[in-house]
Amino acid sequence: MGSSIGKKLLQAVTGLSFCVFLIIHLAGNLTLYGGQDAFNAYVEKLHSLGPLITVAELGLLLFAAIHILTGTILFFQNLKARPTRYRVNKRGGGRTIGSATMPYTGFILIPFIVLHLINFHFADKTNQSLYQILSGAFSNPGYMITYIVAMIVVAIHVSHGFWSAFQTIGANHPKYMPVIKGAGIAFSLLLGIGFGFIPIYLALIV
Protein backbone atom coordinates (compact mmCIF):
# COMPACT_ATOMS: atom_id res chain seq x y z
CA MET A 1 0.00 0.00 0.00
CA GLY A 2 3.07 2.26 -0.31
CA SER A 3 2.16 3.18 -3.89
CA SER A 4 0.11 6.18 -4.90
CA ILE A 5 -2.67 3.89 -6.10
CA GLY A 6 -2.67 2.09 -2.74
CA LYS A 7 -3.06 5.40 -0.93
CA LYS A 8 -5.81 6.55 -3.27
CA LEU A 9 -7.60 3.27 -2.70
CA LEU A 10 -7.39 3.70 1.07
CA GLN A 11 -8.66 7.23 0.70
CA ALA A 12 -11.55 6.14 -1.51
CA VAL A 13 -12.69 3.34 0.84
CA THR A 14 -12.45 5.50 3.98
CA GLY A 15 -14.16 8.42 2.15
CA LEU A 16 -17.06 6.24 1.01
CA SER A 17 -17.40 4.92 4.56
CA PHE A 18 -17.78 8.52 5.75
CA CYS A 19 -20.51 8.98 3.16
CA VAL A 20 -22.37 6.06 4.77
CA PHE A 21 -21.78 7.56 8.24
CA LEU A 22 -23.03 10.98 7.09
CA ILE A 23 -26.26 9.62 5.65
CA ILE A 24 -26.98 7.75 8.91
CA HIS A 25 -26.00 10.86 10.92
CA LEU A 26 -28.29 13.03 8.79
CA ALA A 27 -31.20 10.58 9.08
CA GLY A 28 -30.81 10.60 12.89
CA ASN A 29 -30.53 14.39 13.02
CA LEU A 30 -33.73 14.81 11.00
CA THR A 31 -35.60 13.70 14.14
CA LEU A 32 -34.79 17.23 15.39
CA TYR A 33 -37.67 18.43 13.21
CA GLY A 34 -39.95 16.19 15.27
CA GLY A 35 -39.12 18.26 18.36
CA GLN A 36 -37.30 17.76 21.64
CA ASP A 37 -38.90 14.41 22.60
CA ALA A 38 -38.38 12.76 19.22
CA PHE A 39 -34.70 13.79 19.11
CA ASN A 40 -33.95 12.84 22.71
CA ALA A 41 -35.65 9.45 22.20
CA TYR A 42 -33.44 8.85 19.14
CA VAL A 43 -30.29 9.80 21.12
CA GLU A 44 -31.32 7.51 23.98
CA LYS A 45 -31.85 4.61 21.58
CA LEU A 46 -28.46 5.28 19.96
CA HIS A 47 -26.65 5.39 23.30
CA SER A 48 -28.42 2.19 24.44
CA LEU A 49 -26.40 0.34 21.77
CA GLY A 50 -23.44 0.70 24.20
CA PRO A 51 -20.32 -1.20 23.06
CA LEU A 52 -21.50 -1.22 19.43
CA ILE A 53 -21.34 2.57 19.39
CA THR A 54 -17.89 2.54 20.97
CA VAL A 55 -16.65 0.15 18.24
CA ALA A 56 -18.21 2.37 15.53
CA GLU A 57 -16.58 5.47 17.06
CA LEU A 58 -13.15 3.82 17.18
CA GLY A 59 -13.64 2.74 13.55
CA LEU A 60 -14.51 6.32 12.57
CA LEU A 61 -11.42 7.62 14.37
CA LEU A 62 -9.16 5.09 12.62
CA PHE A 63 -10.72 5.83 9.22
CA ALA A 64 -10.37 9.58 9.81
CA ALA A 65 -6.67 9.13 10.63
CA ILE A 66 -6.13 7.08 7.45
CA HIS A 67 -8.16 9.49 5.28
CA ILE A 68 -6.30 12.57 6.56
CA LEU A 69 -2.85 10.92 6.42
CA THR A 70 -3.19 9.51 2.89
CA GLY A 71 -4.84 12.74 1.70
CA THR A 72 -1.99 14.84 3.11
CA ILE A 73 0.71 12.59 1.59
CA LEU A 74 -1.02 12.63 -1.83
CA PHE A 75 -1.42 16.40 -1.62
CA PHE A 76 2.31 16.94 -1.07
CA GLN A 77 3.23 14.34 -3.72
CA ASN A 78 1.00 16.14 -6.23
CA LEU A 79 2.48 19.51 -5.28
CA LYS A 80 5.97 18.17 -6.08
CA ALA A 81 4.79 16.95 -9.49
CA ARG A 82 2.52 19.77 -10.64
CA PRO A 83 2.04 18.60 -14.25
CA THR A 84 0.84 15.20 -12.96
CA ARG A 85 -1.56 16.97 -10.58
CA TYR A 86 -3.08 18.77 -13.54
CA ARG A 87 -3.48 15.48 -15.38
CA VAL A 88 -5.05 13.79 -12.35
CA ASN A 89 -7.60 16.59 -12.06
CA LYS A 90 -8.40 16.35 -15.70
CA ARG A 91 -8.73 12.58 -15.88
CA GLY A 92 -12.04 12.22 -17.52
CA GLY A 93 -13.84 14.43 -15.04
CA GLY A 94 -12.83 17.93 -16.00
CA ARG A 95 -11.89 20.57 -13.47
CA THR A 96 -14.66 21.57 -11.07
CA ILE A 97 -14.78 23.66 -7.89
CA GLY A 98 -14.86 20.37 -5.98
CA SER A 99 -11.79 18.88 -7.65
CA ALA A 100 -9.74 22.09 -7.60
CA THR A 101 -10.37 22.71 -3.89
CA MET A 102 -10.39 19.09 -2.67
CA PRO A 103 -7.35 19.22 -0.34
CA TYR A 104 -8.24 22.68 0.97
CA THR A 105 -11.86 21.83 1.80
CA GLY A 106 -10.50 18.70 3.48
CA PHE A 107 -8.07 20.70 5.63
CA ILE A 108 -10.82 23.19 6.58
CA LEU A 109 -13.04 20.31 7.76
CA ILE A 110 -10.46 19.07 10.30
CA PRO A 111 -10.84 22.01 12.77
CA PHE A 112 -14.61 21.98 12.13
CA ILE A 113 -14.89 18.32 13.17
CA VAL A 114 -12.77 18.96 16.30
CA LEU A 115 -15.03 21.92 17.21
CA HIS A 116 -18.13 19.83 16.44
CA LEU A 117 -17.05 16.99 18.74
CA ILE A 118 -16.23 19.45 21.55
CA ASN A 119 -19.63 21.18 21.03
CA PHE A 120 -21.82 18.08 21.13
CA HIS A 121 -20.06 14.76 21.61
CA PHE A 122 -17.95 15.84 24.60
CA ALA A 123 -20.50 18.32 25.99
CA ASP A 124 -21.46 17.88 29.63
CA LYS A 125 -24.87 16.17 29.43
CA THR A 126 -25.48 15.75 33.17
CA ASN A 127 -27.93 18.64 33.58
CA GLN A 128 -29.19 19.18 30.05
CA SER A 129 -30.37 17.09 27.15
CA LEU A 130 -28.54 16.97 23.83
CA TYR A 131 -31.49 18.84 22.30
CA GLN A 132 -30.99 21.70 24.78
CA ILE A 133 -27.25 21.72 24.04
CA LEU A 134 -27.93 21.93 20.29
CA SER A 135 -30.55 24.68 20.49
CA GLY A 136 -28.36 26.60 22.94
CA ALA A 137 -25.40 26.40 20.56
CA PHE A 138 -27.33 27.50 17.47
CA SER A 139 -28.97 30.43 19.27
CA ASN A 140 -25.46 31.92 19.00
CA PRO A 141 -25.26 33.48 15.47
CA GLY A 142 -21.51 32.80 15.35
CA TYR A 143 -22.06 29.05 15.71
CA MET A 144 -25.01 29.09 13.34
CA ILE A 145 -22.99 30.77 10.57
CA THR A 146 -19.91 28.61 11.23
CA TYR A 147 -22.03 25.46 10.84
CA ILE A 148 -23.77 26.66 7.68
CA VAL A 149 -20.41 27.54 6.07
CA ALA A 150 -18.98 24.17 7.20
CA MET A 151 -21.95 22.33 5.61
CA ILE A 152 -21.29 24.13 2.30
CA VAL A 153 -17.63 23.05 2.56
CA VAL A 154 -18.73 19.44 3.31
CA ALA A 155 -20.98 19.50 0.22
CA ILE A 156 -18.18 20.82 -2.04
CA HIS A 157 -15.72 18.23 -0.69
CA VAL A 158 -18.15 15.35 -1.16
CA SER A 159 -19.28 16.56 -4.62
CA HIS A 160 -15.87 15.62 -5.98
CA GLY A 161 -14.90 12.94 -3.43
CA PHE A 162 -17.91 10.74 -4.20
CA TRP A 163 -17.21 10.60 -7.94
CA SER A 164 -13.45 10.36 -7.47
CA ALA A 165 -13.75 7.45 -5.02
CA PHE A 166 -15.83 5.41 -7.49
CA GLN A 167 -13.31 6.22 -10.21
CA THR A 168 -10.46 5.00 -7.96
CA ILE A 169 -12.16 1.71 -7.06
CA GLY A 170 -12.54 1.03 -10.76
CA ALA A 171 -16.17 1.93 -11.44
CA ASN A 172 -15.12 4.16 -14.33
CA HIS A 173 -16.96 2.56 -17.19
CA PRO A 174 -18.12 5.38 -19.53
CA LYS A 175 -21.66 4.03 -19.29
CA TYR A 176 -21.89 4.43 -15.50
CA MET A 177 -19.77 7.56 -14.96
CA PRO A 178 -22.53 10.12 -15.76
CA VAL A 179 -24.84 8.27 -13.33
CA ILE A 180 -22.17 8.23 -10.60
CA LYS A 181 -21.41 11.91 -11.19
CA GLY A 182 -25.11 12.81 -10.99
CA ALA A 183 -25.49 10.71 -7.84
CA GLY A 184 -22.47 12.51 -6.30
CA ILE A 185 -23.98 15.92 -6.98
CA ALA A 186 -27.40 14.82 -5.66
CA PHE A 187 -25.76 13.31 -2.56
CA SER A 188 -23.70 16.43 -1.81
CA LEU A 189 -26.78 18.65 -2.23
CA LEU A 190 -28.72 16.37 0.11
CA LEU A 191 -25.97 16.68 2.75
CA GLY A 192 -25.55 20.45 2.30
CA ILE A 193 -29.26 21.22 2.42
CA GLY A 194 -30.21 18.51 4.94
CA PHE A 195 -27.53 19.43 7.50
CA GLY A 196 -27.41 23.14 6.61
CA PHE A 197 -31.06 23.82 7.49
CA ILE A 198 -30.77 22.30 10.98
CA PRO A 199 -28.87 25.24 12.57
CA ILE A 200 -31.27 27.72 10.90
CA TYR A 201 -34.33 25.77 12.08
CA LEU A 202 -33.06 25.47 15.66
CA ALA A 203 -32.07 29.15 15.79
CA LEU A 204 -35.54 30.15 14.54
CA ILE A 205 -37.54 28.11 17.04
CA VAL A 206 -35.54 29.11 20.15
The residues binding ligand HEM (CB under 6 A) are 22, 25, 29, 43, 46, 53, 57, 60, 109, 113, 116-117, 120-121, 130, 134, 147, 154, 195, 198-199
Q: Which is nearer to ligand HEM, 147 or 163 (CB)?
A: 147
Question: Smallest distance, Å, CB 14 to ligand HEM?
Answer: 13
Please report, as a single letter, which amino acid is at residue 102. M
| Apex 119 CA angle, 26 and 49, nearest 5 | 55
The answer to whether 191 touches 26, Cβ cutoff 8 Å, is: yes
Q: Which is nearer to ligand HEM, 85 or 116 (CB)?
A: 116
Q: Which is nearer to ligand HEM, 74 or 154 (CB)?
A: 154
Question: Smallest distance, Å, CB 72 to ligand HEM?
Answer: 17
Question: Smallest distance, Å, CB 170 to ligand HEM?
Answer: 26
Question: Smallest distance, Å, CB 71 to ligand HEM?
Answer: 14
203: how many CB neighbours lie within 10 A of its CB? Answer: 19
User: Whole-angstrom Cα distance, residue 105 to residue 96?
Assistant: 13
Question: Smallest distance, Å, CB 102 to ligand HEM?
Answer: 15
**What does DSSP assign to residue 118?**
I
For residue 96, the number of C-alpha atoms closer than 13 Å in the C-beta half-sphere is: 18
Q: Which is nearer to ligand HEM, 30 or 88 (CB)?
A: 30
Q: Which is nearer to ligand HEM, 187 or 195 (CB)?
A: 195
Please give the full DSSP string across 30-48, using - where no structure is assigned. Answer: GGGGG-HHHHHHHHHHHHT
Q: Which is nearer to ligand HEM, 8 or 157 (CB)?
A: 157
Nearest to 15 by CA among 120, 195, 163: 163
The answer to whether 199 touches 144, Cβ cutoff 8 Å, is: yes
User: Whole-angstrom Cα distance, residue 148 to residue 143?
Assistant: 9
Question: Smallest distance, Å, CB 116 to ligand HEM?
Answer: 5
**What does DSSP assign to residue 123?**
S
